[in-house]
Amino acid sequence: MPETAQMSVIGKAQPRVDGPLKVSGGAMYASDFHFPGMLYAVPVEAAIASGKVTKLDTGAAEKLPGVRAIFHRENIGKIFRSVQGQGFEGIIDERRPPFEDDIIRYWGQYIALAVADTFESAKAAADAVRATYEKDKHNVETDLKADDEPDEVATTFAPTKRLQSERGKAENAFASAPVKFDQTYVTPTHTHNPIELQAATAIWEGSMLTIYEESQGVFNLRSVLAQMFGLPKENVRVITKFVGSGFGSKLWPWTHCALAVAAARQLGKPVKLVLSRKMMFQTAGHRPRTQQRVRLGATKEGKLVSLQHDYVNHQAILDNYHEDCDEATAFHYSVPNLRVHFGRARRNVGSPTPMRGPGAVPGLYATESAMNELADQLNIDPVRLRVLNEPKINEALGIPFSSRHLLECFKVGAEKFGWSKRNPKVGSMKSGGLTVGWGMAGCTWVAARFPAEASVQLRDDGTVRVASGTQDIGTGTYTILAQLAAEKTGIPLDKVEVALGDTSLPEGPISGGSMVTGSMVPAVYKAADQAIESLFTIATTTPGSPFEKRKATDLALEGGRVFVKADGSGKGVPFADLLRRANVRLVTGSGKSEGSFGNPKPKFSTQSFGCHFVEVTWQPEIARLRVSRVVSVIDAGRILNPLAGRNQIEGAVVMGIGMALLEHTSYDPQNGAPINSNLADYMMAVNADVPPIDVHFLDFPDKQINELGARGIGEIGLAGVAAAITAATHHATGVRVRELPITIEDLLTSSVLS
């Protein structure tokens, strides 16, 4: 159990401190900001997927009432390229600035921008722009064969070896293995569908640029825009007060953002640009399609002797996105011979980008499905097979895990689910007149810290302000930071003000990788310690202060009151009184913590772990399959806010149900367009699809990450869900689906007919 006092707000279920603002409409999202004289911009989308624009007729559009300008390559002005710098600087997936040339490389690519007094006028003008094209043959083929690329390839980040990991002799060991398994798994393109559309509002004041954008990384966006518009960083301010979810689509900037900034520059007025849902499918990222071959060699008893994972993801024509499906492959199981290799295939699509659990989610779908199939092949319980192959250390790096409790996850999950009652025979289990199927899978996700800075202020009205230029993307960061500050100062949560999402604040981490909480803990704690130290200095140096004769080191702060340690907390004085007596409005502490992400020589392998047990019901008379029960057990270190934590896992499981049964973006072979680009045709799970989800946290603090032992929980919940559902589906129906999603078409082939 945590060693902190009973009064601690850490580890307690705290409702969102920003909840009232959100439900009352008071929370300001990027598209909620309005400014005098503001104009509205609507992009014109290419209606081919490959070729070039030969003529752009803007005459009719320009004549429409309220239209201020139609921008295109000739008149948008200079937009430079952004180059990646140190850390999270200058990162962008689609590196070509908008309108840089007349070549069209994907359907929906922006070719012009209409700006008008109202949104309606701008939309009408955008629709009235006539483009003439020279069409080339596009390629949106779904079968992915790796393009001819060198052994080391460029990615959005650093160059990467296509041979991702190797030990032993995987091929030979596979060839001589007593039991062989060899299958290919496919995950389709998935489009992020946060309910808040991407939006940018840009305002220039001289050479100073302010932009309101729903960013998952305001500092990276600042550096990208500074580069694209040739400005010193300090001339750019990015503000993101609230984000209506991002799932990765808002991590790196998209081309609309530069368009809004350029239009505002050209017109000398604030410009707002909000994407349509259709544009979200075309120009704002997606999880790429993956095709993954998994080969397993094992003994008859189920010990792995060889693991090979070869995968291909699609990427855009110009950019270099790598979906690292092997995120977990090399360390998740104990296996002496392993080889992981990837390739990519260029397609006429907008650039892929990270989506919740990038790499690990499609990757673990494949490898965990393979383990489930191997278990069936060996007639071994799938939990047992995993226990047999549990590694003692991270065999890929030869270092210990900081804290790995996957076996406890299986144990707790199996007990809560009632797994021991499972009859492995297909179609054999019935409940309430339906056939039921049970399946399970494990999951893991990397844990690390990004560099983080924060400030904490103690104020003479008894309130505390904690600030960092990170973001709350709906996960509860406002609440967590309030909890951290409340914990250190002992004042109630409602007296803590939290400031986030602004590049004028201390530099905070991107809201990505499930790493904000873990990164912020040491920074906020250091800042709070420093502020408290200043407070004690004031308390011991202000004439007339009750602590005037004391040394700062004699004092302590608890429950918002300062006291002499030796006297106990009974005689404390509210810190606000001490500040007022000294005529000090506030004392400020600054905290900075180093990152551990990307450390080339780590001493420990830091990951979170977990598992999902899933039940589906099968009604063959109407070919209806539904997920009826989910138990998820997560080992993510110490959970700082179980309410927000459970919410993260539940949301991820819902997404996993969508991944297994519904979600896919289809590119029309005839024209190359993502054809189901709306929320009716791109199906996600709705409330009626969501069964009871039982989430359990193991709560083993991991002190390698931070002093509270908290790892991240944003992404891990999605990993493994689809593999558990496909296994449960096979158990119920006998239908083995290796290309997601599972469809009614697949299920109609079931021979389990009652």
Partner 1 sequence: MKTFQLTRASDSAQAIASAAKATTAQQGAEIRFIGGGTTLIDLMKLNVEQPQSLIDITRLPLDKIDALPDGGLTIGAVVRNADLAYHPLVRKNYAVLSEAILSGATAQLRNMATTAGNLLQRTRCMYFRETNMPCNKREPGTGCAAITGANRGLAILGTSEHCIATNPSDMNVAMAALEATIHVRGPKGERSIPIADFHVLPGNTPQRETVLEPGDLITHVTLPPPASGSRSLYLKLRDRASYEFALASAAVVVTVANGKVTRARIALGGVGTKPWRSTEAEGELTGQAATEAVFRKVAEAALRGAKPQSENGFKVELAKRCLVHALKLATQTA
Which residues carry out catalysis?
715
Determine which residue in the list 661, 695, 724, 740 makes contact with partner 1, applying CB under 8 A. 661
For the stretch 168-194, what's the b/e string if a residue is b when 16 or more beta carbons lie within 10 angstroms of its beta carbon? bebeebbeebebebebebbbbbbbbbb
Q: Where does this chain touch partner 1 (CB under 8 A) — which range of 117-125, 328-336, 564-572, 585-593? A: 117-125
- Position 626 contacts partner 1 (CB under 8 A): yes
Q: Where does this chain touch partner 1 (CB under 8 A) — which range of 15-23, 303-311, 480-488, 662-670? A: 662-670
Determine which residue in the list 167, 668, 700, 738 makes contact with partner 1, applying CB under 8 A. 668
719 neighbors 702 (Cβ within 8 angstroms): no
Nearest CA to 612 out of 514, 711, 698, 719 is that of: 719
- Position 670 contacts partner 1 (CB under 8 A): yes
Determine which residue in the list 559, 675, 734, 739 makes contact with partner 1, applying CB under 8 A. 675
Query: Three-state SS across 36-54?
Result: CCCEEEEEEECCCCCEEEE
Q: Where does this chain touch partner 1 (CB under 8 A) — which range of 53-61, 167-175, 490-498, 619-627? A: 619-627
| Separation of alpha carbons 64 and 128, rounded Å | 9
Q: Where does this chain touch partner 1 (CB under 8 A) — which range of 228-236, 604-612, 618-626, 698-706? A: 618-626
Q: Rounded to the nearest whole angstrom, what is the least distance from the CB of residue 473 to partner 1 in the complex?
A: 25
- Position 689 contacts partner 1 (CB under 8 A): yes
- Position 205 contacts partner 1 (CB under 8 A): no
- Position 688 contacts partner 1 (CB under 8 A): yes
Q: Rounded to the nearest whole angstrom, what is the least distance from the CB of residue 463 to partner 1 in the complex?
A: 41
Q: Where does this chain touch partner 1 (CB under 8 A) — which range of 215-223, 334-342, 607-615, 659-667? A: 659-667
Determine which residue in the list 681, 703, 707, 751 makes contact with partner 1, applying CB under 8 A. 681
Query: What are residue 525's phi and psi, to 5 degrees?
Result: -65, -40
The alpha carbon dihedral of 10, 15, 17, 18 has a sign of positive
Q: Sort 29 into a burial class: Cβ within 10 Å, 0-12 / 13-18 / 19+.
A: middle
- Position 614 contacts partner 1 (CB under 8 A): no
- Position 671 contacts partner 1 (CB under 8 A): yes
- Position 622 contacts partner 1 (CB under 8 A): yes
Beta-strand pair 39-45/271-274: parallel
Determine which residue in the list 5, 23, 163, 686 makes contact with partner 1, applying CB under 8 A. 686
| DSSP classification of residue 143 | S
Q: Tell me if the bond preceding 362 is cis, omega within 30° of 0.
A: no
Q: Rounded to the nearest whole angstrom, what is the least distance from the CB of residue 682 to partner 1 in the complex?
A: 11
Q: Rounded to the nearest whole angstrom, what is the least distance from the CB of residue 629 to partner 1 in the complex?
A: 15
- Position 569 contacts partner 1 (CB under 8 A): no
**How far is the CA of 36 from the CAs of 31, 184, 271, 742, in angstroms?**
15, 57, 10, 51
Q: Where does this chain touch partner 1 (CB under 8 A) — which range of 472-480, 524-532, 589-597, 687-695? A: 687-695
| Separation of alpha carbons 622 and 641, rounded Å | 42
Determine which residue in the list 1, 158, 195, 680 makes contact with partner 1, applying CB under 8 A. 680
Query: What are residue 656's phi and psi, to 5 degrees?
Result: -65, -35
| Separation of alpha carbons 295 and 366, rounded Å | 10
Nearest CA to 531 out of 459, 586, 587, 597 is that of: 587
Nearest CA to 277 out of 200, 197, 354, 190 is that of: 197
- Position 673 contacts partner 1 (CB under 8 A): yes
Tally of helices (H runs) and strands (E runs) in the chain: 17, 29
539 neighbors 555 (Cβ within 8 angstroms): yes
Q: Where does this chain touch partner 1 (CB under 8 A) — which range of 16-24, 451-459, 477-485, 668-676? A: 668-676
Determine which residue in the list 586, 623, 643, 752 makes contact with partner 1, applying CB under 8 A. 623
Residue list 376-435, contact with partner 1 (CB under 8 A): none
Q: Which is nearer to partner 1, 661 or 728 (CB)?
A: 661
Judged by phi (left if over 0) then psi (alpha if -120 to 50, else beta), residue 262 lies in: alpha
- Position 662 contacts partner 1 (CB under 8 A): yes
Q: Which is nearer to partner 1, 8 or 276 (CB)?
A: 276
Distance of CA 143 to the CA centre of its chain: 27
Q: Which is nearer to partner 1, 146 or 662 (CB)?
A: 662
649 neighbors 634 (Cβ within 8 angstroms): yes
Q: Rounded to the nearest whole angstrom, what is the least distance from the CB of residue 35 to partner 1 in the complex?
A: 25
576 neighbors 462 (Cβ within 8 angstroms): yes
Residue list 31-50, contact with partner 1 (CB under 8 A): 47
| Separation of alpha carbons 445 and 425, rounded Å | 32
Q: Which is nearer to partner 1, 112 or 673 (CB)?
A: 673
- Position 318 contacts partner 1 (CB under 8 A): no
- Position 748 contacts partner 1 (CB under 8 A): yes
Q: How far apart are the first and last CA of the chain?
A: 49
- Position 621 contacts partner 1 (CB under 8 A): yes
| Separation of alpha carbons 36 and 723, rounded Å | 52
Q: Where does this chain touch partner 1 (CB under 8 A) — which range of 311-319, 496-504, 682-690, 717-725? A: 682-690
Q: Which two tokens stand for residue 572?
A: 């404390």
- Position 63 contacts partner 1 (CB under 8 A): no
Q: Rounded to the nearest whole angstrom, what is the least distance from the CB of residue 127 to partner 1 in the complex?
A: 6
| Separation of alpha carbons 433 and 594, rounded Å | 57
- Position 685 contacts partner 1 (CB under 8 A): yes
- Position 120 contacts partner 1 (CB under 8 A): yes
397 neighbors 602 (Cβ within 8 angstroms): yes
**How far is the CA of 343 from the CAs of 149, 150, 658, in angstroms?**
8, 10, 27
Q: Rounded to the nearest whole angstrom, what is the least distance from the CB of residue 104 to partner 1 in the complex?
A: 13
**How far is the CA of 248 from the CAs of 198, 254, 355, 679, 707, in angstroms?**
12, 12, 5, 18, 27
- Position 539 contacts partner 1 (CB under 8 A): no
Size of the site for partner 1 (CB under 8 A): 32
Determine which residue in the list 78, 161, 571, 624 makes contact with partner 1, applying CB under 8 A. 624
- Position 124 contacts partner 1 (CB under 8 A): yes
Q: Rounded to the nearest whole angstrom, what is the least distance from the CB of residue 47 to partner 1 in the complex?
A: 4
- Position 57 contacts partner 1 (CB under 8 A): no
By CB under 8 A, name the binding residues for partner 1.
47, 120, 123-124, 127, 621-624, 626, 661-662, 666, 668-671, 673, 675-676, 680-681, 683, 685-689, 743-745, 748
